[in-house]
Amino acid sequence: MFVSVRLSWVLFLFTIPVVLSQNIALIIIDVQNCFLPGGSLAVTDGQEVIPIINSLRTDYKDAFRLVVLSQDWHCSDHISFASQHAGFNAYQEVSLAYDKNGVLCEPANSCQVVAYNVTQMLWPDHCVINTTSAEFDDSLVQEDSDIVIRKGFNCKVDSYSAFFDNGEFTQTGLHKILQDADISTVFVTGLALDYCVYYTSSDSKRLGYTTYLVQDASRGVANATSVAAVADMKSKGINIIQSDDVGAILESITSGVSSHGSCLTTILLVVMAIVFMQMFSCHSVQE
């Protein structure tokens, strides 16, 4: 019997699997018809990000544990639409007041105490729920395993970030999804650089993820705000890279995980060998 036990331990020692997990996610922000040429809120040269994002997906398919697509998903009377604010035009800002529960203070619901003031840029109507405007571009590579995060569906508060609404009253669920998948590093791409990409990247970094913005896989609404957004992201420790850098970065991450995994495996083997030797020694003494 003891021989069989010893044999089992020996087999176990030499069949310990080395599992190397990259823990990396690719996040694709709002590559939707409304933000592309012909859309109501088209981002200049927005279509140029699509082949770059597609290449990242195909060239490094095995490196990404998760691929997440965010989708702007607005009511037809959404609070961010200029059409809902008499006397205001698109690209003007308004201040929105909310109570402590994140409920908008408005004539129909006058707040006794204003807890939050949120600055809101007004936009043309865009990405309305269940319209072709809100659909992803047909040329964007998608897989059945992709996770879609819809945001901005609360009619009374906007949501630039794929993690939170603009008042941070609610989360979208993305943080939990990444946590459950043990994600530690994210690569962010998509539209628009100075708004949804910026806020998603900033929240990602704040939540503790190593964050890379793939700059040439993103485009902004305006040059001035895009330059300011990139500068601010750099100051926060977000890595600003180009798509040509991704391969080397992934290789560096992979090699680091591989070395760490090999070290852990070696330690485990040594520990198991010591345990085995002690068992063998005890049996010899008993004999």
Cis peptide bond N-terminal to 181, omega within 30:
no
Q: Which residues pair with 134 in a beta bridge?
A: none
In the numeric block, which tokens belong to residue 17? 């699997």
Q: What is the DSSP letter of 127?
A: S
Contact 163, 207 (CB under 8 A): yes
Let me know if 196 is a catalytic residue.
yes
Choose the catalytic residue: 34, 105, 127, 196.
196
Choose the catalytic residue: 34, 72, 125, 151.
151
Q: What is the DSSP letter of 43?
A: P
Let me know if 138 is a catalytic residue.
no
Let me know if 156 is a catalytic residue.
no
**In Å, how far from its chain's centre is CA 147?**
10
Q: Using DSSP bridges, classify how beta strands 185-191 and 147-151 pair: parallel, antiparallel or unpaired.
A: unpaired
**Residue 70, phi then psi, degrees to nearest 5:** -90, 150
- Which residues belong to the active site? 30, 151, 196
